[in-house]
């Protein structure tokens, strides 16, 4: 007499198999996302990848050339203040920093415009964190720890975003305790310094301080009509250049498209605080860009 085979209580045969597309990134979607990025964000991404490729060769050390080393900074090496966020220690360092940076930088460029973002990140937003780090590490601690990586910009932008969030939602409540929303980037700085090896606490802290200061003081005085402008801003998707809606022949323009009505131009930047150009030595004022 044959004994009937007992069926298992839990069978895996009827479970649906996961779709193979779940495990792989769709290349067409990645390409579409990269092409929709604004111009300056694409240039920064390209520069980061280019410096990583240069680091693969053994003739010339890119990290030694462009890292922010306190005792190596002088009148002949001031370029380090701008190059250290673009250089990374390896592929995974570059990958993680770019994944965190690109969405934040894209959002910032959508708010401020292409030319203004270029002037800010090649100027104060790139150099103020470097100067703060030189003060903390070189002057106060008397150390000579080199730093590099675009994570300083990540924490700078996170700090600026946290201040904007704080104005709309001052606190988050956890177990009955109200925690200020602006403190979130500082908590992330502490957590990353503890959990991730070879991270610079002072470098990330310098980025946070710069983001707080700029959002508290500079950005509000630089563009008082910021909220009104954001509601009417639009993106020219073909080139990633941000436009001024409703402008008719004002400011520098790109070539008109076939479907663009005559008399309208695509302006390079819709955010144009005059004081910014004066500070960073632009030789002429962009006429016709005032509201």
**Average pLDDT by stretches of 10, the chain with 291 residues:** 48 49 68 88 95 91 92 90 93 93 93 90 92 93 92 95 88 84 92 91 94 80 57 43 40 37 37 40 37 39
Burial class (CB within 10 angstroms; exposed 0-12, middle 13-18, buried 19+) of 100: middle
Has 11 been annotated as catalytic? no
Helix (H, G, I), strand (E, B) or coil at 235: strand
Residue 176: the pLDDT is: 80
Burial class (CB within 10 angstroms; exposed 0-12, middle 13-18, buried 19+) of 65: middle
Structure tokens at 80: 């380090």
Residue 206: the pLDDT is: 95
Residue 215: the pLDDT is: 84
Residue 158: the pLDDT is: 94
Catalytic hit among 93, 204, 206, 267: 204
- For each of the domains in the chain, give its residue range(s) and CATH number, in order of start: 37-227 (1.20.1540.10)
Catalytic hit among 88, 93, 150, 151: 151
Helix (H, G, I), strand (E, B) or coil at 234: strand
Residue 275: the pLDDT is: 42
Residue 250: the pLDDT is: 37
Has 204 been annotated as catalytic? yes
Residue 62: the pLDDT is: 92
164 contact partners, CB below 8 Å, separation of at least 6: 215
Residue 52: the pLDDT is: 94
């Amino acid at each position: 007499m044959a004994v009937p085979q007992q069926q298992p209580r839990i069978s895996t045969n009827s479970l649906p198999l996961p779709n193979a597309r779940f495990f792989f990134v769709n290349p067409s979607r990645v390409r579409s996302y990269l092409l929709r990025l604004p111009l300056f964000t694409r240039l920064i991404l390209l520069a980061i990848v280019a410096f990583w490729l240069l680091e693969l060769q053994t003739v010339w050390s890119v990290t030694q050339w462009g890292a922010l080393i306190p005792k190596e900074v002088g009148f002949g090496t001031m370029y380090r203040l701008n190059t250290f966020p673009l250089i990374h220690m390896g592929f995974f360092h570059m990958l993680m920093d770019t994944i965190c940076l690109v969405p934040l930088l894209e959002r910032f460029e959508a708010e401020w415009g292409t030319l203004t973002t270029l002037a800010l990140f090649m100027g104060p937003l790139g150099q103020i964190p470097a100067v703060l780090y030189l003060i903390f590490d070189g002057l106060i601690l008397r150390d000579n720890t080199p730093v590099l990586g675009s994570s300083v910009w990540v924490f700078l932008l996170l700090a600026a975003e946290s201040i904007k969030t704080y104005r709309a939602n001052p606190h988050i409540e956890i177990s009955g305790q109200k925690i200020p929303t602006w403190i979130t980037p500082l908590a992330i700085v502490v957590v990353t310094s503890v959990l991730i090896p070879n991270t610079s606490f002072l470098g990330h802290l310098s980025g946070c301080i710069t983001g707080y200061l700029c959002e508290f003081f500079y950005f509000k005085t630089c563009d008082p009509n910021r909220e009104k402008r954001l509601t009417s801003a639009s993106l020219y998707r073909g080139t990633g250049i941000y436009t001024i809606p409703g402008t008719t022949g004002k400011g520098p323009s790109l070539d008109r498209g076939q479907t663009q009505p005559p008399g309208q131009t695509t302006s390079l930047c819709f955010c144009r605080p005059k004081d910014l150009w004066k500070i960073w030595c632009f030789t002429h004022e962009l006429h016709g860009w005032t509201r």
